[in-house]
Amino acid sequence: MQTDAKDSRGWRRLFGVLGPSTNTSVQPDYDDMRPAGVTNHYSRIVVPDAQAISDETFLAGTQQIADNTIEAVKSVMTCKPHYLVMGMSAITFYGGAEGAAKFRHQIHEVAGVDLSTGSESLAAAIAAYGGVKRVAFVSPYYPVANAQVRNFLSDYGYETVRDIPLRCPSWTSIAKVDTPTLRQALHQLDGDDVDAILQVGTNLSMVRLAAAAEMWLGKPVIAINTATYWHALRANGIQDKVYGFGRLLEEF
């Protein structure tokens, strides 16, 4: 058997995807955006379905995700992926740009391959559109985590004009936020003082709604799952245009 033969399905790239075990949105979202020859191999970060009833309990729950990430990395590396794609976002914003870089370096040290994180991918996506200075965003988080997102964005030179923390009461409840709720949030966030609208929180699937909203709002609307998968593709030299998920994957 040829040792240099390519994977029969992932003949372009094998992506190892890291997501909390409670997350039911990342895997189907990433698979929907997957071009031919790229395969996604999901590794679950084992966490209980944390009940978030305050800033303190939300932070504690996300810290548990961070603590358990390394074991999930070690697990997925057994299939020898070329690259890692993070499927959780909250902890990648903590500590601003410096904290995001530190988190990425920690994962790289264990995996030995490069990776795309939610926070840094989002920053790269905003820059790809160009001309964005003021943003607004929605999250499933509690206010304490939204503050971390604002801090991260400010490190990249983006001013947050408005933000909405949906305060979802558990990790699994995030995936149950419906389209009317998100559509209302988009209307609340929009305004002439906002250049782009963002969505963070990977279990809050907004990849298709964001694409539709770009057409009727006439400005960038960036879902974090779209941004992270786009970043992973482009970082690996895969320039395929993937349609139905907004301008990011179609134009940049």
77-97: per-residue pLDDT in tens? 999 999 999 999 999 999 999
pLDDT at 203: 97
| C-alpha–C-alpha distance, residues 251 and 230, integer Å | 11
pLDDT at 138: 98
pLDDT at 63: 79
| 53 pLDDT more than 80 | no
Q: Which residue has the tokens 């929907």?
A: 32
pLDDT interval class at 60 (50, 70, 90): confident
Mean local confidence (pLDDT), 183-196: 98
| C-alpha–C-alpha distance, residues 4 and 191, integer Å | 54
| 57 pLDDT more than 90 | no
pLDDT at 65: 84
From 232, 241, 234, select the one nearest 86 (Cα to Cα): 232
The gap from C-alpha 158 to its chain's centroid, in whole angstroms, comes to 18
Mean local confidence (pLDDT), 182-186: 97
Q: How many CA atoms lie within 13 A of 11 on its CB side?
A: 6
For the chain, the average pLDDT equals 95
Q: Which residue has the tokens 């920053």?
A: 123
* Domains present along the chain, CATH in parentheses: 13-118+226-244 (3.40.50.12500), 121-224 (3.40.50.12500)
pLDDT interval class at 59 (50, 70, 90): confident
| 236 pLDDT more than 90 | yes
CB 228 within 8 A of CB 120: no
DSSP 35: P
| 215 pLDDT more than 70 | yes
Q: Give the pTM.
A: 0.95
pLDDT at 51: 78
Percent of residues, the chain, with pLDDT higher than 90: 89
pLDDT at 61: 78
Percent of residues, the chain, with pLDDT higher than 70: 98
| 195 pLDDT more than 90 | yes
CB 127 within 8 A of CB 231: no
| C-alpha–C-alpha distance, residues 120 and 13, integer Å | 21
